[in-house]
Amino acid sequence: MSIFGFHYRLERKAISLILGIVLVSSIGGLVEIAPLFTISQTVETAPDMRLYTPLELAGRNIYIREGCYACHSQMIRTLRDEVDRYGPYSLAVESKYDHPMLWGSKRTGPDLARIGEKYSDQWHVAHMINPRDVVPVSVMPAYDWLLANELRTDDLSLHLKAQRKVGVPYTDDMVANAAADAYGQANPDSTQADGLTKRYGKATTVRIFDGQADRLTEMDAMVAYLQVLGRLTTAAGKSMAQTGASQ
């Protein structure tokens, strides 16, 4: 009996067809679900993993609000040309505290997984105000209003609480001081800056991101976020070094 003949006979018996569908679906589900039981063995560890500061998290929210993820991915694949262009390939652990994850595959613009500290703050500000000023062939729209908009900080504690609900280990102290920490990160001479580094570590970048010391703007938040991409942990660099050594 041919495979087609068997299928035709099966279609005539509803119960047999239903059982066959359940069987095939179960096999597909098992193939997808089984690897999750070993996820602790496949996802890398990163003891030096840092948390997004309130200012960086606010910048990430603005990045999502403005739809930046629609044109920029944050996932470097293991392909040689991608590694040569963008840097070490992305590891799962690097998105440990990303909710939602912004990996993506659509690249109207370049991947941003390793954009942190590649360009100066001034470059990013100019790029946001008018992309053609720094990249003449850019098709990116301008986001000049980010420099004019004051950053809302009164709800940052709520954003940290929401992140904590899904597993990000923000402490009560971090939640309570979210607004002050956001201001302190963009004002290195302020008293709030000291509290920020105590809570988030000395590796935290503290500087006037948008070039205006007297105001905390959405541009501060956006640039702070872009400058930390790929720099929350050194795991990717170590993984590349180990891969090179093994070869």
- The DSSP symbol for 217 reads B
Q: For residue 85, which amino acid is it? A: R
- The DSSP symbol for 136 reads T
Contacts for 61-70 with beta carbons within 8 Å, 24 or more apart? 61/159, 62/146, 62/218, 62/221, 62/222, 62/225, 63/102, 63/222, 63/225, 63/226, 64/100, 64/102, 66/143, 69/102, 69/104, 70/106, 70/108
Task: Show the tokens assigned to 14.
Answer: 């509803």
Q: What is the pLDDT of residues 103-136, one digit of tens each?
A: 998 899 999 999 999 999 999 999 999 999 999 9
Residue 2 confidence (pLDDT): 67
Q: What is the pLDDT of residues 56-80, one digit of tens each?
A: 999 999 999 999 999 999 999 999 9
